[in-house]
Amino acid sequence: MLIIGERINSTRPRIEEAIKARNAAHILKEASAQLRAGADYIDINCAVTTGDELQDMDWIISVLQSEIPEINICIDSPNYRAIEKALTVYKGKGKIFINSITGEEPRIAKILPMAVKYKTKLIALTMDEKGMPNSAAERVEIAKKIVEHVKKGGFNTEDLYFDALIRPVATEPGQALEFLRAIPAIKGLGNVKTICGLSNVSFGLPHRGTVNAAFLSMAAAAGLDAAILDPTDRHISSAMAASAVLLNEDQYCAGYIKAFRDKRLI
């Protein structure tokens, strides 16, 4: 499973503070910790600050690529201008995710050409102008519509990752099951992948790591290709390592044994 580390997000107070203070050391520390814990990409979200998102995005990417030139990044913004800024600033040798489009045509029209031009991977949320779907079948319908759009736009669907939008089980108890059912159904559309923002599932519950870990294991077994999560969290790294072993994606259990030795198992 491909891992996108979620920690550089300005909704976290320490990150907002670091962005405002232009504290490069803290941003680099967060990126390095996630890479060491197994992140393949580093998500960058600076949408929620009192500052200027475009300038903040420019600064964070500049900081990261100056120290870690091979870094893979995930540009995470509701603002297509911030995404555009990030794409022009990034000069690293790594790969890029854009996070995200939805089924809404104006947003696809703005973002898809950038994804094609910069050869990025692309996350598509299975929601549209009508809002968030409830059933697995509705999620698949929206995904189908998005597949048609991106194909027309010349985007390779191999690089399209559908996020079927997990919602908190504490308030919507049937939604985790619908999400799990949606994974194989969306992958059945053809040459597309699936992704998930993990931690939302446990919102409102105590001891959230336990629920996040169980859900990650379930989603991995259902065929999830990628996840946006905090790989430094030991509940998460435990589920990552154990799932890889169980799904025969960890030859000789080497990754699991390393996680054990590095004390990343809970």
| Interaction site with a copy of itself (CB under 8 A) | 169-170, 173-174, 176-177, 180, 201, 205-207, 210-211, 213-215, 217-218, 220-222, 238-239, 241-243, 245-248, 251, 253, 256-257, 260, 265-266
Q: Which is nearer to a copy of itself, 153 or 209 (by Cβ)?
A: 209
Task: Provide, rounded to whole angstroms, the least separation between the CB of residue 9 and a copy of itself.
Answer: 24
* Smallest gap from residue 202 Cβ to a copy of itself (A): 9
Of 109 and 177, which has the nearer Cβ to a copy of itself? 177
Q: Which is nearer to a copy of itself, 85 or 235 (CB)?
A: 235
Least spacing, CB of residue 248 vs a copy of itself, in Å = 5
Task: Rank residues 12 and 234 by Cβ distance to a copy of itself and give the closer one.
Answer: 234
What is the C-alpha separation between 213 and 199, in angstroms, rounded? 9
To a copy of itself, the closest distance from the beta carbon of 143 in angstroms equals: 21
- 3-state SS, the chain, equals CEEEECCCECCCHHHHHHHHCCCHHHHHHHHHHHHHCCCCEEEEECCCCCCCHHHHHHHHHHHHHHHCCCCCEEEECCCHHHHHHHHHHCCCCCCEEEEEECCCHHHHHHHHHHHHHCCCEEEEECCECCECCCCHHHHHHHHHHHHHHHHHCCCCHHHEEEECCCCCCCCCCCHHHHHHHHHHHHHCCCCCEEEEECHHHHCCCCCHHHHHHHHHHHHHHHCCCEEEECCCCHHHHHHHHHHHHHCCCCHHHHHHHHHHHCCCCC
Residue number with CB closer to a copy of itself (2 or 205)? 205
For the CB of residue 265, give the shortest distance to a copy of itself in the complex, in Å.
Answer: 5
CB 7 within 8 A of CB 34: yes
Which one, of 223, 225, 128, lies nearest residue 185 by Cα? Answer: 223
Which one, 13 or 206, has the nearer CB to a copy of itself?
206
Amino acid at position 49, single letter: T
Shortest Cβ distance from residue 139 to a copy of itself (Å)?
Answer: 17
CA distances from 215 to 56, 135, 240 (A): 33, 18, 11
Least distance to a copy of itself from the beta carbon of 201, Å? 7
Quote the least distance from Cβ 232 to a copy of itself, whole Å. Answer: 16
Query: Closer CB to a copy of itself, residue 2 or residue 265?
Result: 265
Terminal Cα-to-Cα distance of the chain (whole angstroms) = 20
Which CB, 122 or 259, lies closer to a copy of itself?
259
